[in-house]
Amino acid sequence: MDTLRGYLSGWTAAHKTLAILAAAMLALGGYALYYVMSQPSMAPAFTGLAGEDSAEIVEQLRADGVPYELASGGSTVLVPEEQVYEARIQAASAGLPASSGGGYGLLDDMGVTSSDFQQSVTYTRAVEGELASTIEAFSAVQFAKVALSIPEETVFSDAQEDATASIFVNAAPGTTITDSQVQSVVQLVSGAVDGLRPENVAVVDGDGGVLSAVGEGPAGGSSGAALEYEERVTASVQTMLDSVVGRGGSTVVVTADVNPESAERLEETFDAAEDAPALRESSSTENYTGTGGGAAGVLGPDNIAVPGGGDGEGTYTAETEELENAISKVTETTTVPPGALNSQSISVAVDENAAAGLDMPVLTAMVTDAVGLNEERGDALNVSIVPFSTADADAAAEALAEAEAEAAAEAQREQFQQILTSAVIAGALLLLLLAALLILRRRRKQQTEELEDLGESYPYEALGAGQAAEAAAVGAGQRPATLLPPDAETAVLPVARPDAADGGGAAFGADGEESVQRRAELNALAAQDPERMAEHLRALMDEEASKV
């Protein structure tokens, strides 16, 4: 401890300040590291909770002393990863979460005295809850809400209204609900509700966008189908052309006309097999013969019959035959979904530099087969060889060169800044070292001057026998008991300078009172820090010995 105190006593105020700051920063860094390392890894224990469920579960976790965090607006509760299952078991034992958004569990609470209206509404709510839970199972759906409108049944078919459904879906973070997923939701709900047709299902997302409209199907269904078809055909043709003419040597544009409407077509076909026997056959014959009545005369003037006179005779014969042949009947019902391709137009441009040596009829035939061109449907194809503009490529190359130059300049600036920072740090350290050396040299010089004054007052040769032994002990590195004679404070002794020309016999002591005061100060210094005093005495004696 004495050595440590002696070492610390030689520090300057700047050294002590830097040491305190370093210790404080080390302590703060250690505490921050300990705080971060001591924090538990949180994992979701409950998700999709209602507000009242979140409040009750939080109270349960507080009572159990389990740390928790809330996320997703309070609908998700996070607990330490190693306590997830324990927290779920404790919540389940307490009957949490208690609230329910619907489901067939609502039917368990119905009593025998429920009215028809209550039963109908409860059943509708149960179906809505089950459908919402099923839709939330989609990976892209975070929350779903289903509202059904099921009209009452009536015996009059003309007055029966169609069932409709409205679905609200909120996409999960970082995901997008695609048209195919919307169509899956529509088919799921329409198939679960009796009498609900897919075109009567509306789907709305969390941003207020209409994903599927009533009577129209998925929003943008026709345009989406056209865009999907155009992208698919363009990608396939472009891939083929890149393999033939090289990347960047061609471009493809496809425009598709699709049918935005859906329809159902009913076809009935009748066919009778030849030489097939009739299923049923019937015939009847009627004969009549008789006389009586006047014979028919001839027409006279003015279209008046003139009797011919005499009686007439007549014969009547009638035959009837009915055949029921075997006829086959075929009834076909075809549902035409929206997005059926009506026609398409394809334009292909090939760079004249890349088209050198190509057989254009062969290339045109390849594109024709790739797109499935049908001229009867009204499809059109145009393959042209044109010079491509290099402005964009030149601009891109220029921008790339500028970016590389800027990156190189930035790297040079960072390197210069690092060198400058290193130089400043090195200069600061050098200045601190020089300042420390100057301070140490000044202190050593001051202590040497003080010891020289002591040597002039009490040189080594002027000491008595006992004091000379103590001085010799100081030179050997031992701690002396005292360096002054008993009457040092009152007596003024003559001393001789060891380097005097007369061999050390010259008297010194004209200023005796000042010598006594100096000896008292040095005596106090030796009492406070004897090791330092001994070190300087050794240095002084070594210096005097070298002079001799």
pLDDT for 28-77, tens place per residue?
Answer: 888 888 877 777 788 888 877 777 788 888 888 988 888 888 887 788 88
Note the pTM of the prediction, 2 decimals. 0.38
- Provide mean pLDDT across the span 295-299: 55
Q: What is the pLDDT of residue 261?
A: 66
Confidence of residue 291 (pLDDT cuts 50, 70, 90): low
Strand partners, 196: 163
Higher-pLDDT residue of 155 and 44 is 44
Q: What CA–CA distance (Å, rounded) separates 251 from 237? A: 9
Q: What CA–CA distance (Å, rounded) separates 185 from 188? A: 5
Nearest to residue 169, comparing CAs of 207, 198, 125, 213? 207
Strand partners, 304: none
283 burial (CB, 10 Å; 0-12 / 13-18 / 19+) is: exposed
Digit-coded pLDDT (tens) for 305-322 = 555 555 556 677 888 888
- For the record, the structure tokens of 433 come out as 């070292």
Q: What CA–CA distance (Å, rounded) separates 140 from 133? A: 13
Least confident of 41-45, 113-117, 404-408: 113-117
Strand partners, 271: 328
List the Cα angle 194/136/46 in 5-degree steps.
Answer: 135
Q: Is it true that the peptide bond before 485 is cis, omega within 30 degrees of 0?
A: no
* Crossing angle of the two packed helices 465-475 and 530-547, in degrees rounded to 10: 100
- Cβ pair 125, 102 in contact under 8 A: yes
User: Helix or strand or coil: residue 80?
Assistant: strand
Higher-pLDDT residue of 253 and 355 is 253
Residue 139, φ and ψ in degrees, nearest 5: -65, -30
Average pLDDT of the chain, as a whole number: 76
Whether the per-residue pLDDT at 360 is higher than 80: the answer is: yes
Nearest to residue 127, comparing CAs of 102, 92, 161, 145? 102
Q: Please report the DSSP string for 443-469 in residue order.
A: HHHHHHHHHHHHHHHS-STTS-HHHHH
- Cβ pair 479, 518 in contact under 8 A: no
Q: What CA–CA distance (Å, rounded) separates 518 from 509? A: 12
Whether the per-residue pLDDT at 120 is higher than 50: the answer is: yes
Element (H, E) at 166: strand 163-171
Q: What is the pLDDT of residue 345?
A: 92
Strand partners, 91: none
Residue 451 CB partners (closer than 8 Å, separation 6+): 522, 536, 537, 539, 540
Residue 189, φ and ψ in degrees, nearest 5: -70, -45
Whether the per-residue pLDDT at 108 is higher than 70: the answer is: no
Nearest to residue 251, comparing CAs of 145, 120, 385, 369? 385
b (16+ CB within 10 A) / e for 362-382: ebeebbbebbebeeeeebeee
Three-class HEC string of 384-441: EEECCCCHHHHHHHHHHHHHHHHHHHHHHHHHHHHHHHHHHHHHHHHHHHHHHHHHHH
Element (H, E) at 231: helix 221-245
Residue 497 CB partners (closer than 8 Å, separation 6+): 456, 459, 504, 506, 508
Digit-coded pLDDT (tens) for 425-463 = 888 888 888 888 888 777 777 666 665 555 554 444 444
Confidence of residue 476 (pLDDT cuts 50, 70, 90): very low
Whether the per-residue pLDDT at 374 is higher than 60: the answer is: yes
In angstroms, the Cα distances linking 110 to 114, 119, 132, 147, 545 are: 7, 8, 21, 21, 116
Pairing label, strands 69-71, 76-80: antiparallel
Nearest to residue 367, comparing CAs of 254, 257, 258? 254
DSSP 8-class letter at 361: H
In angstroms, the Cα distances linking 408 to 332, 402, 421 are: 73, 10, 20
Residue 382 CB partners (closer than 8 Å, separation 6+): 346, 347, 348
| Percentage, residues of the chain above pLDDT 90 | 7
- For the record, the structure tokens of 548 come out as 């001799």
Q: What is the pLDDT of residue 252?
A: 92
Q: What is the pLDDT of residue 168?
A: 92
Helices (H) and strands (E) in the chain, counts: 12, 17
Nearest to residue 536, comparing CAs of 496, 488, 483, 489? 483
- Provide mean pLDDT across the span 393-397: 82
Element (H, E) at 380: strand 380-386
